[in-house]
Amino acid sequence: MVHLRIVVPTDTAGAALELLRGSDSVVNVIHLPGVASKPDGDVVFCDVAREDASVVIDDLRELEIPRRGSIALENVEAEISDAADRAEEAARGLASDAVVWEDVEARTSEHTELSFSFVAFMVLAMLIAAVGIMLDQPILIVGAMVVGPEFGPLAAVSVAIVELRGALAKRSLVALGIGFPAGIVATLLVTLALRETGLAPEGFSTDDHPLTEFVSNPDFFSFFVAYVAGTAGILSLTSAKSGALIGVLISVTTIPAAANIGVAAAYGDWSQCGGAAGQLGINLVTIVAAGVATLYLQRRYYLRRRVKHLSDLARTDAGLPLGHSRRAGSATFEAPEMTGRPGRPKQGSDRPGRS
């Protein structure tokens, strides 16, 4: 279940309550009149089956509640209630496979900001990977993969492409475009310093580290693993099974490949540098491509669900149109048809909305 806390203007509270009470997948509706301030209004609590969470939130958005109030959501780990069980049965599908798009958008947005901590983690992860390459220690490579924060912006790029969100794509690409070069330059400088001070491993050769040389030798399996890992990462991000994400981080070689660029450059081995750059490019492009493909399929499934919901008679009790969304920017938005007088919408339109 997903718990919603809704701050709604008093003049819209009635419509919101009709909407929530009329939905079979919503339970535990609580109305507290006039208790909210900044913004002023009523507070409504409810629990909604995870499968229908985004559908219900889209209805609330049509009432312009986010513009005049707010909607907060949190996942309910356990709820002991026969009513909640009936609500989950009324919602089609499985909760473990359901995508709460608002949660996905919030989680990806959190990890796309170019911040000091993001750049610091990129640098630190590449330094760990650089030591792993010079010592030929795969365990350090694995550690660097876990520390690296790059999957968040990569997932956000996929979300931005599917949802056509230019601002999110820009923030993500800026973070990646600065984070990777900063880490590579730091790795280059630290490797040079280690060589100058004699602290670099004696006898290290960029051509002779068999246990970690895969980070600079791209092949078909580089593409295959990156695609599978990208798909698994997006599924972990969008589903309730987020525990799989740590395995995804260990599967992709973006951070080790970027670190190897700095190490190889410090040793003047431009062939290894080019191979590592190729490995990095394959991973970045393939992860985003896999993410886009996975999200596109999930989004199409959600839109079909949303279109079916638009014919729910509970929408009429809340003053919402049947068959299409009235919220501009929604994938199911349909502008009212114009009659003879400009500015007057055609009444009674119930044609199915476009997906």
Which of the residue ranges 84-98, 209-223, 229-243, 331-345 would you say has the lowest mean pLDDT?
331-345
Residue 347 is predicted with a pLDDT of 37
The parent domain of residue 84 ranges over: 2-98
Q: Are residues 126 and 250 in the same domain?
A: yes
Q: Which residue has the tokens 């997932």?
A: 155
Q: Return d(Cα 239, Cα 98) in angstroms, integer.
A: 6
- The verdict on residue 336 lying in a domain is no
pLDDT tens for each residue of 5-24: 999 999 999 999 999 999 99
Residues 164 and 49 both lie in one domain: no
Q: Give the distance from CA 159 to its chain's centroid.
A: 6
Task: Work out the percent of the chain whose per-residue pLDDT is above 70.
Answer: 88
Residues 214 and 291 in one domain: yes
The verdict on 146 and 245 lying in the same domain is: yes
Domain boundary among 67, 98, 129: 98
Q: Are 232 and 290 in contact (CB under 8 A)?
A: no
Any domain includes 291: yes
What distance in Å separates the CA atoms of residue 168 and residue 107, rounded to the nearest whole number?
A: 12
Same domain, 131 and 263: yes
pLDDT, position 241: 60
**Cα atoms in the Cβ-side hemisphere of radius 13 Å centred on 195:** 18
This prediction's pTM:
0.83
User: Based on the domain organization, do 207 and 246 belong to the same domain?
Assistant: yes
Residues 47 and 80 in one domain: yes
Q: Is the domain of 162 the same as that of 73?
A: no
Closest CA to 176 of 237, 119, 109: 119
Assess whether 141 and 76 both reside in one domain: no
Give me the number of domains the chain comprises: 2
Chain segment 237-268, per-residue pLDDT in tens: 887 665 556 666 666 789 999 999 999 999 99
Mean pLDDT for the chain overall: 86
Same domain, 123 and 72: no
Predicted confidence at residue 324, as pLDDT, reads 79
Q: Is residue 13 part of a domain?
A: yes
The CATH number covering residue 77 comes to 3.30.70
Cis-peptide, bond into residue 210, ω within 30° of zero: no
Give percent above pLDDT 90 in the chain. 61
The pLDDT value given to residue 353: 36
Last residue of a domain, one of 98, 132, 153: 98
Dist CA 115 CA 123 (whole Å):
13
Domain ends where: 283, 302, 321? Answer: 302
- Model pLDDT for residues 58-71, shown as the tens digit of each residue: 999 999 999 999 99
Q: Say if residue 222 is in the same domain as residue 113.
A: yes
- Regarding whether 68 and 11 lie in a shared domain, the answer is yes
Residue type, 166: G
Q: How much is the average pLDDT of 96-121?
A: 85
pLDDT at 106 (0 to 100):
84
Instruction: For residues 177-188, give the mean pLDDT.
Output: 97
